[in-house]
Amino acid sequence: MKDNNILLMEKMFRTLCGIEVDLLTEDKESSIRSKIRNYLRGKKGFGKFPVNLENKERYEGYGSKADALIKEIDEELLLNRYKKAFPRNSELWDYGLGVAQLYWDGRLKPNTTDESYFILALELMVKKDIIGKYDYMFNGKSPQEIIDENAELIKQNSTEVRKEVESQEYGDGSKTDYEIVPVHDFETAKQYSSYVDWCVTQGKSYYNSYTENGMGTFYFLLKDGYKEVSKDNNEEYAYSMIAVCIYPNGGLKNCTSRWNDTPSFLDAKGISKLLGRNMFKALPPRFTKEELNKKIIDEGTIYSKTNNTIVYKLGKQIYFYNRKTNKLKENNLGEIFGVQCYSSKFDKDNCIIIMSDDKMGFINRDGEFVIEPKYDSIWDLDRNNERIVKLGGKWGIIRLNSNGSYSTVIEPKYEDIGVLKGNNERQVKLGGKFGIIRLNSNGSYSTVFEPKYDSIWDLDGNNERKVELDGKLGIITLQQDGTYSEPVWE
């Protein structure tokens, strides 16, 4: 799936940049990367664009496989979304490249709640003429930070949309041609997989992602005779089946036609007109906030308990109950705050690894992020309160500080990091070769020798390592000055 995403992003870059070329053979790779790189360097604010377009590892799957991989995913959905969200000559045009970068880095995922709120925040800032407070790379901030900083704007918009819908007379819904089907689980969605290619009808993971693990929900709007409608009738086919996703708080997340070509097929007013009824009454949230509170507390298991907080686990999600306010923790948008836990328990640092949109981070027992979800993987090294983290395919090291926060000791740059016995040493891989780094008394790391061996192994003692180079095995020995001897080959 990673290769598919890379292909998607490459095509998005080419579309945004106005470069319309096919990427079907490896000999075209270099020229395409060069065009994109030069274009981005020519844009204001992109002189130091962080994407390494020369990195061949990010292009695995190109060449003869490219055409087949593109067909496996619905790339047009993403492209049409951004053509609409970031049209040329609009105020958001330059920001489209910044969003593409967020996708490339994996900090923004398609069809997620963060994506919906993030794009909405951008659109609202343009309307309010305050988008200029961010540069084209959003001042280096994450989508979640942008959402939090504009939470009041988003909440205000939600209130205004509801008031506008409620001020209209749509009727009681008796004259509509549509059947409203509540789709509160994947098993129900799957029943329609032969009539439409919406991803939520094809895989449970997609359904869970859209609905925040079932806290939100879907409604399928089925027009009379939808099974017999031909694809040849473009508009009639589009309106014959409509999927509406509802946030846990009852807001409209997205609306997709049967063609599955855009997540904003109809807005709240359009849906209300179609149904002949206020959509917020016709398509209510699966649970009220009170019902969600009760469900989490009654059905959840206690995962952790402190003087301030009880952590409940329901399904894969954990929720934080404040014992002083007697309320579940809410986010800045006024929604119940829940995250997917990845670890089996809170660690010695009183943190637990959590996952959001395939990214990992840390949260403490009070529901406060210690590290926002941004890493691809996190592993405990069981030494010096350190963990190795993976980001963008590279490994680095972070360390727990005395105040409960984490700091980066080594930026993710290695292909692998492994533990070695004794001497506070770790083996690191770079360019396909292994070397050794050592933890110093001041907490920093220094290079013992650069990566140059094919493999490095521990031996029984702490002062010798076994190495392999070009098929030969040898022993290197730690010297008094802290360096290692040249190999003694077997």
pLDDT at 468 over 70: yes
Half-sphere CA count of 143, side-chain side, radius 13 A? 26
Q: What is the mean pLDDT of residues 193-219?
A: 88
pLDDT of residue 405: 84
**In the chain, % of residues over pLDDT 90:** 41
pLDDT of residue 35: 44
Tens of pLDDT along 37-84?
444 444 333 333 333 333 333 333 333 333 333 333 334 445 555 566
Half-sphere CA count of 395, side-chain side, radius 13 A? 18
pLDDT of residue 84: 61
pLDDT of residue 4: 44
Vertex 375: Cα angle to 372 and 378 (nearest 5): 105
Query: Got the DSSP string for 79-147?
Result: HHHHHHHS-TTSTTHHHHHHHHHHHHHTSS-TTSHHHHHHHHHHHHHHHTT-GGGS-TTGGG--HHHHH
Measured in whole angstroms, how far is the alpha carbon of residue 63 from the centre of its chain? 27
Q: What is the mean pLDDT of residues 453-482?
A: 90
pLDDT of residue 180: 97
Collapsed DSSP state (helix, strand, coil) of residue 5: helix
The CA distance from 165 to 163, in Å, is 5
Is the C-alpha dihedral spanning 66, 67, 69, 70 positive or negative?
Answer: positive
pLDDT at 378 over 50: yes
Rounded to the nearest integer, the mean pLDDT of the chain is 80
pLDDT at 329 over 70: yes
Closest CA to 417 of 384, 381, 454: 381
Q: Which residue has the higher pLDDT, 295 or 212?
A: 295
Looking at residue 454, its amino acid is: D
Tens of pLDDT along 409-462?
999 999 999 888 877 889 999 999 999 999 998 889 999 999 999 999 988 777
Tens of pLDDT along 93-103?
767 767 767 76
Q: Which residue has the higher pLDDT, 334 or 344?
A: 334
- In the sheet that holds 241-246, the strands lie side by side as 178-183, 217-223, 241-246, 252-256
Q: Which residue has the higher pLDDT, 400 or 485?
A: 485
361: which strand partners? 354
pLDDT of residue 334: 85
Asked whether the beta carbons of 32 and 23 are under 8 A apart, the reply is yes
Asked whether the beta carbons of 124 and 133 are under 8 A apart, the reply is no
Q: Which residue has the higher pLDDT, 49 or 283?
A: 283
Q: How many residues does the chain have?
A: 490
101-to-21, 105, 115, 132 alpha-carbon distances in Å: 20, 6, 13, 19
Q: What is the mean pLDDT of residues 306-331?
A: 91
* Stretch among 25-39, 320-334, 451-465 having the lowest mean pLDDT: 25-39
Half-sphere CA count of 469, side-chain side, radius 13 A? 16
pLDDT of residue 97: 66
Q: What class has domain 288-375? A: mainly beta
Vertex 81: Cα angle to 260 and 219 (nearest 5): 40
